[in-house]
């Protein structure tokens, strides 16, 4: 098992990869103690038709620049193959502003090819590569050196089996004409905004039952401070203060360090120093926020006049379509989509792109009374009216 620890060695491998149709890529990282993922290892493999060379790239053990890898990522003549790529891509985008192009995500492709929703790599290895993975090294500390032989073997398996999986799925997509479906699904993964976390939007992830404007204004300012503080110091946001403490602070609105000392949920370290000062400034900003600038929760779902009978018919149609096309139901339309359609909403994901072709068109025809559904044994048939 070859481990690359120098920029020259990485550059030589990437030059060989640039002559191939594709290269498989995976990473090992840690995120428990940092805000941003700490890259610990990169695995890559060339096609078996090109010799099948597979390597580990160690950014910890040696003096190594990843620029040769990023140059390969920018090379549009080589497909970069990942499985469940989101966290891997976030690492590369945060580090260098690079997103591999073109990208192929085998998890996305597998969903489109009928392997179910968010299918795991181990399942694809078993069903396509006909191999069994040794998962004993899955939860090891990848930042510790030296790596054991078991760790290296586990890491390489994440890219060597990926070759067969990619070739099988790529052929399946070409056979079924669903390449455009995958391309559409990958748009979010290849959008840089997917990997940009804006402190001013962090409040939207905080779960709270109180949806009043004045309360949410304080939540927004506290979440903004926490996110910015965590980013600037590269620590997990929960190390600053947790969501339950944030909600408590938004309710009690402390105005002094003495008030902070009475908090039941705030960490001891957050009751003094920079964090305490930041909390008090955030609370003050939220309390003084003008009414016209206070956050307004999305209440559109509450106003939906759902037609229960039509929603049930749409569920039956969805079942027929998922069986006919061999794709997971949740990939085509969510329960929220079906309720929204039955209530007259038309700006929903299930009515756009390839989902419209597969499900949305007939869903709208069903709403207009242009088609009916009938059983044919255990199957559902669409009948023109």
Which pLDDT tens digit goes with each residue over 20-61?
Answer: 999 999 999 999 999 999 999 999 999 999 999 999 999 998
Do 145 and 27 lie in one domain? The reply is yes
Q: Is pLDDT at 149 greater than 90 in this prediction? A: yes
In degrees, rounded to 5, the angle at the alpha carbon of residue 135 between the alpha carbons of residues 130 and 141 is 145
With respect to residue 144, please indicate whether it lies within any of the assigned structural domains.
yes
pLDDT score recorded for residue 364? 97
Q: How confident is the model at residue 1 (pLDDT cuts 50, 70, 90)?
A: confident
Do 282 and 331 lie in one domain? The reply is no
With respect to residue 299, please indicate whether it lies within any of the assigned structural domains.
no
Tell how far CA 301 is from the center of its chain. Answer: 24
Q: Decide: residue 223, CB within 10 A, 0-12 exposed, 13-18 middle, 19+ buried.
A: buried
Report d(CA 167, CA 328) in Å as an integer: 22
Average pLDDT over residues 258-283: 95
**Structure-token match 């229960």, residue found:** 308
Report d(CA 105, CA 108) in Å as an integer: 5
Average pLDDT over residues 278-290: 98
Residue pair 196/221 in contact (Cβ under 8 Å)? The answer is no
Do 11 and 109 lie in one domain? The reply is yes
Report d(CA 205, CA 197) in Å as an integer: 11
State which of 159, 176, 195 marks the end of a domain: 195
Q: Residue 233: which CATH number?
A: 1.10.150.80
Average pLDDT over residues 128-146: 88
Q: Is pLDDT at 275 greater than 80 in this prediction? A: yes
With respect to residue 29, please indicate whether it lies within any of the assigned structural domains.
yes
More confident: 383 or 24:
24
Q: How confident is the model at residue 116 (pLDDT cuts 50, 70, 90)?
A: confident
Do 26 and 142 lie in one domain? The reply is yes
Residue pair 45/162 in contact (Cβ under 8 Å)? The answer is yes
Do 276 and 321 lie in one domain? The reply is no
What percent of the chain stands above pLDDT 90?
87
With respect to residue 300, please indicate whether it lies within any of the assigned structural domains.
no
Tell how far CA 349 is from the center of its chain. Answer: 17
pLDDT score recorded for residue 139? 81
Report d(CA 385, CA 156) in Å as an integer: 56
Q: Residue 353: which CATH number?
A: 1.10.150
Count of domains forming the chain: 3
More confident: 133 or 168:
168
Average pLDDT over residues 215-241: 97
State which of 161, 195, 229 marks the end of a domain: 195
Q: How confident is the model at residue 346 (pLDDT cuts 50, 70, 90)?
A: very high
Helix, strand or coil, per DSSP, at residue 100: coil
Angstrom CA distances, 163 to 12, 99, 106, 135, stand at 21, 20, 10, 19
With respect to residue 301, please indicate whether it lies within any of the assigned structural domains.
no
Do 284 and 169 lie in one domain? The reply is no
How does the average pLDDT of the chain come out, rounded?
A: 94
Q: Is pLDDT at 299 greater than 80 in this prediction? A: no
pLDDT score recorded for residue 231? 97
Report d(CA 176, CA 325) in Å as an integer: 10
Tell how far CA 278 is from the center of its chain. Answer: 30
More confident: 53 or 304:
53
Do 211 and 180 lie in one domain? The reply is no
Do 247 and 122 lie in one domain? The reply is no
With respect to residue 145, please indicate whether it lies within any of the assigned structural domains.
yes
Q: Is pLDDT at 300 greater than 70 in this prediction? A: no
With respect to residue 24, please indicate whether it lies within any of the assigned structural domains.
yes
More confident: 7 or 378:
7
Domain range for 175 is 2-195
Q: Decide: residue 345, CB within 10 A, 0-12 exposed, 13-18 middle, 19+ buried.
A: middle
With respect to residue 153, please indicate whether it lies within any of the assigned structural domains.
yes
Angstrom CA distances, 310 to 214, 305, 307, 333, 372, stand at 38, 11, 5, 15, 11
Do 140 and 23 lie in one domain? The reply is yes
Q: How confident is the model at residue 315 (pLDDT cuts 50, 70, 90)?
A: very high
In degrees, rounded to 5, the angle at the alpha carbon of residue 141 between the alpha carbons of residues 138 and 143 is 125
pLDDT score recorded for residue 151? 95
Q: Is pLDDT at 301 greater than 70 in this prediction? A: no
Do 107 and 125 lie in one domain? The reply is yes
Do 280 and 326 lie in one domain? The reply is no
Average pLDDT over residues 146-159: 95
Write down how long the chain is: 385
Angstrom CA distances, 352 to 348, 349, 357, 361, stand at 7, 5, 8, 9
Q: Write b or e for each residue in 14-32: b if 16 or more Cβ atoms lie within 10 A of its Cβ, otherwise e.
A: beebeebebbbbbbbbeee
Residue pair 202/226 in contact (Cβ under 8 Å)? The answer is yes
Q: Residue 51: which CATH number?
A: 3.30.420.10
State which of 258, 293, 328 marks the end of a domain: 293
pLDDT score recorded for residue 183? 95
Average pLDDT over residues 334-358: 95
Helix, strand or coil, per DSSP, at residue 39: strand
Q: Is pLDDT at 194 greater than 70 in this prediction? A: yes
Do 259 and 218 lie in one domain? The reply is yes
Helix (H) or strand (E) holding 29: strand 22-30
């Amino acid at each position: 098992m070859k481990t690359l620890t120098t920029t020259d060695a990485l550059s030589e491998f990437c030059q060989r990869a640039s002559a191939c149709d594709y290269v498989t890529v995976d990473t090992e990282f840690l995120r428990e103690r940092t805000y941003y993922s700490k890259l610990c290892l990169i695995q890559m493999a060339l096609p078996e038709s090109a010799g099948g060379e597979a390597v580990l790239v160690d950014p910890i053990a040696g003096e190594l620049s990843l620029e040769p890898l990023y140059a390969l990522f920018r090379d549009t003549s080589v497909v970069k193959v990942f499985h469940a790529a989101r966290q891997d891509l976030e690492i590369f985008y945060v580090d260098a502003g690079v997103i591999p192009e073109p990208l192929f995500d085998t998890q996305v492709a597998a969903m489109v090819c009928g392997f179910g929703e968010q299918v795991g790599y181990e399942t694809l290895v078993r069903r396509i590569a006909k191999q069994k993975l040794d998962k004993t090294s899955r939860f090891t500390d990848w930042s510790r050196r030296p790596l054991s032989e078991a760790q290296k073997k586990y890491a390489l398996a994440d890219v060597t089996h990926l070759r067969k999986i990619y070739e099988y799925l790529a052929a399946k997509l070409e056979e079924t004409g669903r390449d455009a479906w995958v391309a559409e699904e990958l748009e979010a993964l290849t959008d840089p905004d997917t990997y940009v976390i804006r402190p001013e939007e962090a409040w939207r992830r905080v779960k709270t039952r109180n949806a009043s404007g004045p309360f949410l204004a304080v939540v927004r300012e506290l979440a903004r401070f926490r996110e910015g503080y965590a980013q600037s110091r590269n620590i997990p946001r929960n190390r600053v203060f947790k969501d339950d403490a944030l909600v408590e602070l938004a309710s009690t609105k402390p105005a002094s360090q003495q008030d902070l000392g009475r908090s039941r949920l705030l960490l001891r370290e957050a009751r003094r120093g920079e964090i305490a000062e930041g909390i008090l400034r955030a609370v003050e900003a939220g309390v003084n926020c003008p009414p016209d600038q206070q956050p307004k929760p999305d209440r559109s779902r509450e106003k939906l006049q759902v037609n229960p009978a039509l929603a049930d018919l749409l569920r039956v149609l969805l079942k027929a379509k998922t069986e006919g096309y061999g794709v997971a139901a949740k990939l085509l339309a969510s329960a929220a989509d079906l309720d929204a359609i039955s209530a007259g909403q038309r700006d929903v994901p299930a009515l756009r792109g390839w989902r419209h072709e597969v499900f949305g068109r007939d869903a709208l025809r069903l709403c207009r009374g242009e088609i009916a559904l009938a059983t044919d044994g255990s199957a559902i048939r669409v009948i023109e009216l």
